[in-house]
């Protein structure tokens, strides 16, 4: 492995990073599959290789075995099967980013093999952390659109939930087990399943969210470094409980807010003269993170100064925006707002596929009337009513009159439309 290989891995599209890593290290670390658990806002959990693959909980359980910034070789349970693994941990991020190789044999690998692999993983992790902290627009768009880690974790939770229910039903249906024993086993299974589900939910939050107060503290420290040696005072409106300090922020929102605030501070200092004080604050208001940056400068900052620093470009993928209020002689205030989640897509009325007569029939059907009653009310034959009902069920994608009636009530078709 050489520097050119490292460059190829880093330059790959986000979705190709893990496959490129697998290919680059296949000769030195033979493996049948590889998995990643990191704080990448695009997808903290990734897997490539033969199925079934491990879960996020499987990978997280390996952390106690790995020394600080190092690697570990041994056997671990992955997807319910004990297999030999090699784990690389990078302390570039907190918690450490894990790269886990599922191997086919237990042959120990020497340090001269693992050291270059560790260096490559540290380099890739540092690159991904840079993309996250600087809120690169393309990365943000993929992160918000995909939310791959959340989907994966939800699937994991669903599988665990289904397995627990199946186990409970198996115990309760077993006629060879007396009631007392069955209840005891069912309680044990339920408690174990609940503990597992809660731990997985907590892991999902840890990977995809950051506490608002903690994110602000990191931002403040990075701004202090920007102001160091420039004779500019920094005032902080540190968020408290009322400002949502303990609220969880999606990692892409926290990273974007921090990057935009830093860019705004740079614009205030570089594009104006006489700035001696900068005030920064943010709070979570409902479903929006609102950040304000205020200076005591000449009040000449323009939106163009922010555009040059890609502020709008960074906020765009997350549906955010920034306003500049510059008052000559009094200073400038920049207000930044970022939604905590994607805007909900309005639901489309499913009844728009129905014709006028079909809507009339559906309205009668929703009132609980039978075909003969509908025919008399609408002055049509009963066979025509049956035809319309069949077409209604087909167009709405439902299998019963009851389901169709439920949609009618939900979307207001109980009256003639």
Question: How many Å apart are CA 212 and CA 42, to the nearest integer?
Answer: 19
Question: How many Å apart are CA 169 and CA 174, to the nearest integer?
Answer: 8
Q: pLDDT at position 164, please? A: 61
* Band of residue 166 on the pLDDT scale cut at 50, 70, 90: low
Q: pLDDT at position 201, please? A: 54
* Band of residue 135 on the pLDDT scale cut at 50, 70, 90: low
Asked if residue 229 lies in contact with residue 269, where contact means CB atoms within 8 angstroms, the answer is no
Q: pLDDT at position 256, please? A: 86
* Band of residue 196 on the pLDDT scale cut at 50, 70, 90: low
Percent of the chain with pLDDT over 70: 77
pLDDT of 189 over the 80 cut: no
Asked if residue 338 lies in contact with residue 288, where contact means CB atoms within 8 angstroms, the answer is yes
How much of the chain is helix, strand and coil, in % rounded to 5?
50, 20, 30
Q: pLDDT at position 415, please? A: 46
- What are the phi and psi torsion angles at 181 (to 5°)? -65, -40
Which has more confidence, 369 or 57?
369
| Predicted confidence (pLDDT) per residue in 401-415, tens digit | 888 887 887 776 554
Residues 6+ positions from 120 with CB-CB distance below 8 Å: 1, 5, 6, 9, 21, 24, 25
| Predicted confidence (pLDDT) per residue in 198-241, tens digit | 555 555 555 667 889 988 998 999 899 889 888 999 999 989 88
Question: How many Å apart are CA 398 and CA 386, to the nearest integer?
Answer: 15
Mean pLDDT of 175-183: 72
Angle at 123 between CA 122 and CA 124, to 5 degrees: 95
Q: pLDDT at position 265, please? A: 94
Mean pLDDT over the full length of the chain: 81
Which residue matches tokens 């005591």? 296
Which has more confidence, 187 or 252?
252
Mean pLDDT of 170-198: 66
CB-side neighbour CA atoms (13 Å) of 341: 9
Q: pLDDT at position 92, please? A: 82
Percent of the chain with pLDDT over 90: 33
Mean pLDDT of 313-335: 89
- Highest average pLDDT, of 120-129, 144-153, 277-286, comes from 277-286
pLDDT of 146 over the 50 cut: no
Q: pLDDT at position 110, please? A: 93
| Predicted confidence (pLDDT) per residue in 260-294, tens digit | 999 999 999 999 999 999 999 999 988 899 999 99
Mean pLDDT of 101-122: 91
- The separation between CA 48 and the C-alpha centre of its own chain, rounded to angstroms, equals 19
Mean pLDDT of 51-67: 85
Q: pLDDT at position 180, please? A: 76
* Band of residue 342 on the pLDDT scale cut at 50, 70, 90: low
pLDDT of 181 over the 90 cut: no
* Band of residue 147 on the pLDDT scale cut at 50, 70, 90: very low
| Predicted confidence (pLDDT) per residue in 350-366, tens digit | 888 888 888 889 988 88
Q: pLDDT at position 11, please? A: 81
- What's the token pair of residue 234? 């920094």
pLDDT of 40 over the 70 cut: no
Residues 6+ positions from 396 with CB-CB distance below 8 Å: 350, 351, 353, 354, 403, 404, 407
């Amino acid at each position: 492995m050489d520097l050119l290989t490292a460059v190829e891995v880093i330059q790959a599209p986000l979705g190709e990073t893990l496959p490129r890593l697998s290919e680059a290290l296949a000769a030195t670390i033979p493996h049948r599959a590889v998995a990643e658990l990191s704080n990448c806002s695009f997808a903290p959990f990734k897997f490539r290789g033969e199925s079934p693959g491990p879960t996020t909980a499987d990978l997280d359980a390996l952390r106690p075995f790995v020394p600080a910034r190092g690697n570990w070789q041994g056997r671990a349970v992955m997807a319910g099967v004990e297999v030999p693994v090699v784990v690389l941990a990078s302390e570039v991020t907190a918690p450490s980013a894990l790269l886990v190789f599922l191997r086919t044999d237990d042959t120990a690998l020497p340090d001269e093999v693992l050291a270059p692999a560790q260096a490559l993983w540290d380099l890739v992790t540092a690159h991904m952390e840079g993309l996250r902290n600087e809120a690169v627009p393309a990365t943000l768009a993929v992160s918000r659109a995909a939310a791959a880690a959340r989907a994966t974790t939800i699937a994991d939770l669903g599988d665990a939930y289904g397995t627990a229910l199946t186990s409970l039903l198996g115990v309760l249906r077993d006629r060879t087990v007396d009631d007392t024993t069955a209840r005891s086993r069912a309680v044990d299974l339920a408690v174990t399943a609940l503990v597992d589900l809660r731990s997985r939910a907590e892991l999902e939050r840890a990977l995809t969210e950051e506490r608002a107060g903690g994110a602000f503290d990191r931002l403040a420290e990075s701004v202090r470094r920007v102001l160091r040696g420039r004779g500019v005072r920094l005032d902080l409106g540190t968020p408290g409980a009322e400002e949502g300090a303990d609220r969880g922020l999606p990692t892409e929102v926290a990273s974007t807010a921090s990057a935009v605030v830093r860019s705004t501070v740079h614009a205030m200092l570089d594009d104006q003269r006489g700035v001696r004080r900068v005030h920064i604050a943010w709070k979570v208001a409902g479903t929006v993170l609102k950040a304000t940056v205020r200076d005591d400068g000449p009040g000449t900052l323009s939106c163009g100064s922010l555009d040059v620093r890609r502020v709008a470009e960074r906020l765009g993928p997350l549906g955010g925006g920034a306003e500049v209020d510059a008052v000559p002689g009094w200073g400038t205030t920049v207000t930044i707002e970022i939604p905590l989640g994607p805007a909900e897509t309005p639901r489309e009325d499913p009844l728009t596929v129905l014709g006028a007569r079909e809507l009339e029939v559906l309205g009668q059907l929703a009132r609980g009337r039978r075909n003969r009653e509908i025919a008399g009310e609408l002055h049509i034959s009963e066979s025509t009513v049956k035809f319309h009902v069949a077409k209604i069920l087909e167009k709405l994608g439902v299998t019963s009159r009851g389901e169709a009636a439920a949609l009618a009530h939900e979307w207001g078709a109980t009256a003639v439309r």
